[in-house]
Amino acid sequence: MASSSTTTISLSLATFSSTTATASSSATQTKTSSICSFRSHERTLSSSLLGTRMRVCNKTARTKVVDKSSMTSNGITCLASSSVLPSALLFDCDGVLVDTEKDGHRISFNDTFNERELGVTWDVDLYGELLKIGGGKERMTAYFNKTGWPEKAPKSEEERKEFIASLHKRKTELFMALIEKKLLPLRPGVAKLIDQALGKGVKVAVCSTSNEKAVSAIVSFLLGPERSEKIKIFAGDVVPRKKPDPAIYTLAAKTLGVDPSSCVVVEDSAIGLAAAKAAGMKCIVTKSGYTADEDFLNADAVFACIGDPPEECFDLAFCGSLLEKQYVS
């Protein structure tokens, strides 16, 4: 394979200074992570610099700007050196802290439907479509409105709301049992990134459309009491409008007493990304099982996971680097 040329650019808040280095594609590949797939939000640099669209990835004290042609399918680890830290690090729950949807929430919904003898089963593909609707109660309501309400469901609108609420309550109980048994593990790098944030005095919160009890169970049982007592939870019906509406992220910033522009969100879905950006926040996407093919064009960075060393995809310093001026499109 022919060698490829890359350009290394040292970034400050005010200037770019560049030097050019040539490296073979095999040498480039040795610098990549073996697990995490990275795609930073693509940015267009001046044609006087490179004349091509590039991807930004931090390595140690410098920011390495890598031509697409030198990227490998294995991805790139992005560990930045930044003096800027977020005021708050905000995590979505399902798909970010834990990949819960397919083997957690979906199973719990189906067990609830089975207990109530509703004759309803959500298969893997169907549930993937339903996830485009934020909130479990909203998801069930939309599904029954489209396919028809079960015979055992009440007829009036008010009674149907109570019916949905009862289904969701039972579903949450079944889901919490899975969490308490630790049958669904944390995703790689979650505990690491939270520890880095708490250790640096960065506020940490979980912002989710899921039921507050379910989110609290995940945080408490999987992250442990020492971490959970320092993490603020915003979940369920704490806001009237759910993602992609920015209400939950706006509420989090206001409650935590931080400027939205100083917050970094970790999301896994297109509706979560839309909510974070509409709230005026930076957003990193860590793809989950159901969201791998969604459109994340507006994300500030996209990874397969957060990752633990030695297969770490990004860290707290990288989150902070997104707030620096050179990363603003």
Catalytic residues: 92, 94
| Cα 215 from Cα 218, distance rounded (Å) | 5
| Cα 291 from Cα 288, distance rounded (Å) | 5
Which residues on adjacent β-strands are paired with residue 77?
Answer: none
Q: For residue 164, what are the contacts with CB-CB under 8 A and spacing of at least 6?
A: 137, 140, 141
Quick one: 183 exposed, middle or buried, by C-beta within 10 A (0-12, 13-18, 19+)? exposed
Q: How far apart are the first and last CA of the chain?
A: 34
DSSP letters, 168-188, are: HHHHHHHHHHHHHTT-SPBPT
Cα 40-89-209 angle, rounded to 5 deg: 95
